[in-house]
Amino acid sequence: MIDAPESTDPLLAQDKAAAEFKTWLRRLVTDTAELVAFDAGEIDAVMDRNSVSALLLPEAQTALHDSHRIALSALDALPGEICVLDAMGIVVMTSKAWRVSGAAHARAGLDVRAGENIFDACLDAPAGERAHANAVAAGLRKMLAGMRQLLRFRYVCPSPRGRSVFTLTMAATTAQSPVYTLLTREWHSPRQQTGKISGVAAGKVRRIATAVRSGAQNRLLAALPSKDYAQLASGLEPVTITYGEVLYEPGEPIRAVYFPSTCLVSLLTPVDAHRALEVGLVGREGMIGASLALGATKSSVRALAQGTGTAMRMNAKRFLREFRRSEALQRVLLQFTERLMVQISQTAACNRFHLVEARLARSLLMTAERMGSAEFHLTHEFLAAMLGVRRVGVTVAASELQRRGFIRYRRGNITILDQRGLETASCPCYRHLQVLNPPPANAPRPMSVLNLLRLHGFF
Amino acid sequence: MANKRMKKVAAKETVATVVVMRLYIAGRAPNSVKAIANLEAICRQHLKDSYKLEIVDVCEHPRRALDDGILVTPSLTKLSPTPSANVIGNLSDTGSVLAALGVQLSPAQ
């Protein structure tokens, strides 16, 4: 096979791919005024309803990439050891001095790189440095919760030349900026005196650090004022919930409540020994066990995990205590309970009146929305239980949705190909529930390079 | 909220009503930066202090843009006074922006 000359040149191939992408983006634009602006090169991004995101034109992508590169090289040019963290504790970028020194002190657990989560790095710190790492994690937690603006720690740590002393400074940036915390490290001569950092119980800090990390993903927890959340955080324990796991059985006492971060839980009402019907679906926008707050001690539904992921767990006793104490928690939970009741009653009516195909479409849309992904795993058996129909009914409905090009279904792996099409195929209940239960907003993007440069006084 | 700015100032005698606008941009992409600069210049020159501008970054708030019916950025929407109007692009054509905002140019301008 002979390659065409342009395909062997990577730059030309890149240009060709960019041009093709641009042509594809142009097809998404329909209105005349928008097309005129598009052709005049005055457009940066086209909105994509399927992925709910802004698709940047190649020129805009290049410009943003270049500005990221400029910021990185500017950061590298600074003499200090600097590390920039976003709101979740992810390292956005580090200066060259930070990387060099981190590699030299990797033994002390200081080699934290871009893309890593600083809380994970603190948890992975070597045994000898655990107390320091825990104190850093606790300090960061305070910064991210907005309780502190500036913190300083001074440490002694092992280094290739014996023991070294350094000061770690954390500075919170303004709330307007997407970059949240700036870490700087300064080294001192070992003769200088060092202050001992008082350590908090390791397990507790670890739990709090993780709670901050994943708790923020749950909308109810995120809606709490930082003071109330801080109070709650020490009782929250991160757990992984796997697909098919049963959290509650009907009639059994509720021992713990769950705030899903990335998992998805289906609420099923059993009608006899073998059959059950899904009446509600709860993801990161809500909680499992809210009936405890209404005075119930036993579950009336089966709570079954429909998607593997993480959640924050709190034992029932502590939850009730916090619920009585915090007005904000009461408000947030009552609002959620009201939304859940609407969902349950709408689902009940929907199950009675609408066809399997429309219900399947609604169910898939709701799942995708709560999982925050257009791809997920659901077996026929599970779907049949969710919709209260036999497996063959699901097969027929899913095949029809697949034939119309709305979804791809292969061995339980479902991909939504055409969100808008699936919405038209679903019953009006989906639209109704969406209005009442607006889906969670996307997580804030971590980076603003200009803010970073501004921070360093470049302009 | 990140990258979202509000400006609200009292109306002066030159323009009686406050113009409420929303500008949708995509981060620091070139046309978005131009659109902000162009719009701020237009507001300064023609609207004096009687305007309220909200800038929405669609990279951070895509759902909001979609809910507002925005398809491409930069895109400027005049919300008040009615009728509402839209201008697409980097707002370098001052005339069309003023027309959309309903600003009458005096002979001196």
Q: Which CATH number belongs to the domain containing residue A390 in this structure?
A: 1.10.10.10
What residues does A86 pair with on adjacent strands?
A179
Shared domain check, A191 and A92: yes
pTM, entire model: 0.44
| Residue A447 clears pLDDT 70, i.e. is over it | no
Shared domain check, A137 and A92: yes
Asked if B71's CB is within 8 angstroms of A43's CB, the reply is no
Asked if A178's CB is within 8 angstroms of B3's CB, the reply is yes
Residues of A in contact with B37 (CB under 8 A): none
Largest CA-CA distance found in chain B, in angstroms, rounded: 43
Q: For chain A, what percent of residues have pLDDT higher than 70?
A: 80
Residues of B in contact with A448 (CB under 8 A): 2-3, 27-28
Give domain status of residue A71, yes or no.
no
Domain that holds residue A306: 235-343
Shared domain check, A312 and A252: yes
pLDDT of the residue at A192:
42
Give domain status of residue A302, yes or no.
yes
Please tell me the distance from the alpha carbon of residue A126 to that of residue A124, in angstroms, as a whole number: 6
Of B28, B31, B66, the CB nearest to A47: B66
In this predicted structure, which of A69-78, A195-204, A209-218, B5-14 has the lowest mean pLDDT? A195-204
Shared domain check, A269 and A197: no
Asked if A46's CB is within 8 angstroms of B71's CB, the reply is yes
Shared domain check, A100 and A202: yes
Which B residues in the span 4-23 are in contact with A, Cβ-Cβ below 8 Å? none
Asked if B2's CB is within 8 angstroms of A30's CB, the reply is no
Shared domain check, A358 and A327: no
CB pairs under 8 A between A and B: 105
Sign of the Cα pseudo-torsion (A266, A267, A270, A276, in order): negative
pLDDT of the residue at A318:
92
DSSP-derived 3-state class of residue A252: coil
Query: Greater confidence, A82 or A372?
Result: A82
Last residue of a domain, which of A343, A373, A399? A343
Asked if B62's CB is within 8 angstroms of A54's CB, the reply is yes
Q: Does B28 touch chain A (CB under 8 A)?
A: yes
ipTM over 0.85: no
In the structure encoding, which two tokens stand for residue A33, read together?
């005024």
Give domain status of residue A290, yes or no.
yes
DSSP-derived 3-state class of residue A41: coil
Asked if B62's CB is within 8 angstroms of A52's CB, the reply is yes
| Residue B94 clears pLDDT 80, i.e. is over it | yes
pLDDT tens-digit map of A300-312: 889 988 878 888 8
Give the number of residues written for chain A. Answer: 459
User: DSSP assignment of B45-89, as one string?
Assistant: IIITT-EEEEEEETTT-HHHHHHTT--EESEEEEEESSSPEEEES
Mean pLDDT along residues B44-69: 84
Give domain status of residue A230, yes or no.
no
Pick the residue from chain B with its C-alpha nearest to A56: B26
If we measure between CA atoms, which residue out of A179, A310, A165 comes closest to residue A237?
A310
Annotate B84-98 with b (16+ C-beta within 10 A) or e (fewer): ebebbbbbeebeebb
The mean pLDDT of chain A is 77
Of A44, A47, A441, the CB nearest to B71: A47
DSSP-derived 3-state class of residue A267: strand
In this predicted structure, which of A227-236, A271-280, A328-337, B9-18 has the lowest mean pLDDT? B9-18
SS3 content of chain A, % helix, strand, coil (to 5): 45, 25, 30
- C-alpha B1, offset from chain centre: 18
Any idea what DSSP says for residue A106? G
Give domain status of residue A223, yes or no.
no
Shared domain check, A92 and A55: no
Residues of A in contact with B85 (CB under 8 A): none
Give domain status of residue A221, yes or no.
no
Q: Does A46 touch chain B (CB under 8 A)?
A: yes
Q: Does B89 touch chain A (CB under 8 A)?
A: yes
Q: Are strands A256-260 and A237-241 parallel, antiparallel or unpaired?
A: unpaired
Number of structural domains chain A divides into:
4
Give domain status of residue A218, yes or no.
no
Residues of A in contact with B28 (CB under 8 A): 63-64, 67, 448-450
Residues of A in contact with B92 (CB under 8 A): 42
What CATH number is given to the structural domain containing A168?
3.30.450.20
Shared domain check, A293 and A386: no
pLDDT tens-digit map of A311-320: 889 999 999 9
What count of Cα atoms within 13 Å lies in the side-chain half-sphere of residue B79? 12
Q: Does A27 touch chain B (CB under 8 A)?
A: no
Shared domain check, A408 and A392: yes
Please report which helix (H) or strand (E) contains residue A33, including its range: helix A32-39
Q: Does B37 touch chain A (CB under 8 A)?
A: no
Query: Residue B3: pLDDT band by 50, 70, 90 thresholds?
Result: very low
Q: Does B42 touch chain A (CB under 8 A)?
A: no
pLDDT tens-digit map of A15-59: 777 788 888 888 888 888 888 888 888 888 888 877 777 888 888
Helical segments of A116-247, H only: 118-123, 130-144, 202-215, 219-222, 226-233
Cα–Cα distances (Å) from A40 to A36, A37, A80, B34, B73, in that order, read: 6, 5, 44, 14, 13
Residues of B in contact with A449 (CB under 8 A): 28
Q: Does B38 touch chain A (CB under 8 A)?
A: no
Residues of B in contact with A45 (CB under 8 A): 26, 29, 58-59, 72-73
Please tell me the distance from the alpha carbon of residue A199 to that of residue A155, in angstroms, as a whole number: 12
Asked if A52's CB is within 8 angstroms of B60's CB, the reply is no
Shared domain check, A436 and A386: yes
- Residue B29 distance to chain A (closest CA, Å): 5
Sequence-separated (6 or more) residues with CB below 8 Å from residue A438: none
What is the C-alpha end-to-end distance of chain A, expressed in Å?
54
pLDDT tens-digit map of A262-297: 888 988 888 777 777 888 889 888 899 988 888 888
Please tell me the distance from the alpha carbon of residue A405 to that of residue A422, in angstroms, as a whole number: 9
φ, ψ (nearest 5 deg) of residue B12: -110, 175
pLDDT of the residue at A438:
57
- C-alpha B60, offset from chain centre: 18
Domains of chain B and any CATH numbers: 6-101 (3.40.30.10)
- Residue A412 distance to chain B (closest CA, Å): 28
Q: Does B39 touch chain A (CB under 8 A)?
A: no
pLDDT of the residue at A449:
40
Sequence-separated (6 or more) residues with CB below 8 Å from residue A259: A215, A218, A220, A221, A236, A287, A288, A311, A312, A313, A314
Shared domain check, A362 and A325: no
Last residue of a domain, which of A309, A324, A343? A343
Shared domain check, A364 and A331: no
Annotate A183-193 with b (16+ C-beta within 10 A) or e (fewer): bbbeeeeeeee
Give domain status of residue A228, yes or no.
no
Sign of the Cα pseudo-torsion (A314, A320, A324, A330, in order): positive
Query: Residue B2: pLDDT band by 50, 70, 90 thresholds?
Result: very low
Question: Which of A39, A44, A174, A448 is the mutation pick for testing B, counting most B CBs within 10 A?
Answer: A44
Q: Does A52 touch chain B (CB under 8 A)?
A: yes
What CATH number is given to the structural domain containing A310?
2.60.120.10
Query: Residue B91: pLDDT band by 50, 70, 90 thresholds?
Result: confident
Sign of the Cα pseudo-torsion (A423, A429, A432, A434, in order): negative
